[in-house]
Structure 1
């Protein structure tokens, strides 16, 4: 069996995502047709409520949870060495070019919500014009919203939902997830208060059963025991009350939203 270049190939830096709050590099895997995103631990900006040096581990742990659910929402993500030392390495996603219609998450004139979209809130844009924050009424995006509840995503911005060329919708940037305290901040509130589909609940049941075994052992190398217990509690809570939660904090949407 040949080695997986995502895990073993030398990485050559070809660019940097300058809008990211932590060092985020775009690399090519030497000798393979593979582009990746690489976030070295040494480039993480300390956060008071997320211990320094753990963001890369949370990215990988979030992927492990997603994979255990059988949901191809988060691109394959590993923890490995790179040009600037250990860090998170994730497969690069080729996305659909901007079309005539709105993006998966977008802004539109206030109240003028296109067909197939849901309004999240109304606000003023930087120029002072009233706008609506909207997202697509798409089952692929809904599954991402359920995943965010499970992993307690504190930073689901609009730009973190990618429309892949392969027809899938991907979520990226999961460095501030899996905290023990409620921290859900997301732009995907359009399904708040609505039931969760049975097929998603079946997958969540599989996750709950897997946590005490090998999955839990892998997660224990990335996050704390208390965070694993909190993950299990959130999953069981959704099974007991299979409804998307309502916003419960003063800051339910990350800022900036994109």
Structure 2
């Protein structure tokens, strides 16, 4: 599955995000950490909107004491890319006006979609892929507002900074498939991901080593193997709130 962003392929988008000139034009004030809206422009004329989250603007979190939230965003893109599902928009690590951080392509969502209704959908294939991705990365903050449906019908998700904890902390609004069998597509993607995670030279394994602790990286592989073994969507933990607050 190859995504395209107004004529840009995924590889072209990553190139633009990596080398283009980054110019902040505003701040997303509802975000708890410094999150800037920027334009990124290449010398050849290509230009796009993007989100820039500098590491210097992060607030320390007691339950994510190791690494950076930006690094977890990058790890989420690496897992999404290895699954081949394009759930997470193209994301890079680079220097910027306020230091190193995460830069992610801005996705113009379809404003005609009711996100609350979308989050309850049981038949949306893209939403179901997202639920599997969240189980793999142990996303502890999948809110309704993190869903980015596009006019073309593709669904992206954003804000994966509080993911990849070693302990099971899955919190999401997408519990409608709990206990149901994983789709054939999900099992195929998970098997592919498991193979790539076992290869220390694969891009996804290298990216997780770069941004996560050793135990956190191993926990990703363990979760993938558990999903492949049980072949069902996971249940909420009885020891952790199942839904983030606020859910929207």
Unaligned runs of 5+ in 1: 107-116, 118-133
* Corresponding residue for residue 238 of structure 1: 227
Would you say the 8 A contact 1:105–1:161 is kept in 2? Answer: no
* Corresponding residue for residue 131 of structure 1: none
Cα RMSD over matched residues? 1.8
Deviating above 2 A after TM superposition, structure 1's stretches of 4 or more consecutive aligned residues are none
**Structure (1 or 2) with the greater strand fraction:** 1
Report the number of matched residues.
229
Written as runs of structure 1 = structure 2, the 5 A alignment for 1:128-139 is 135-137=120-122, 138-139=124-125
Q: Is 2:207 aligned against 1:218?
A: yes
Question: If you compute each CA radius of gyration, which structure gives the higher value, 1 or 2?
Answer: 1
1:175-228 CA deviation, whole Å, 9 max, x = no partner?
A: 011111000000001111111101210110011111122231222111112111
Unaligned runs of 5+ in 2: 1-10
TM-score normalised by structure 2 residue count: 0.88
Written as runs of structure 1 = structure 2, the 5 A alignment for 1:1-258 is 4-31=15-42, 32-51=46-65, 54-98=68-112, 103-106=114-117, 135-137=120-122, 138-213=124-199, 214=202, 215-249=204-238, 250-258=240-248
1:30-58 CA deviation, whole Å, 9 max, x = no partner?
A: 34321100000011111001026510000
* Corresponding residue for residue 113 of structure 1: none
- Cα distance in 1 for partners of 2:105, 2:86 equals 12
Distance change in 2, residues 1:231/1:52 (3 Å): closer
**Structure (1 or 2) with the greater helix fraction:** 2
- Cα distance in 2 for partners of 1:51, 1:160 equals 23
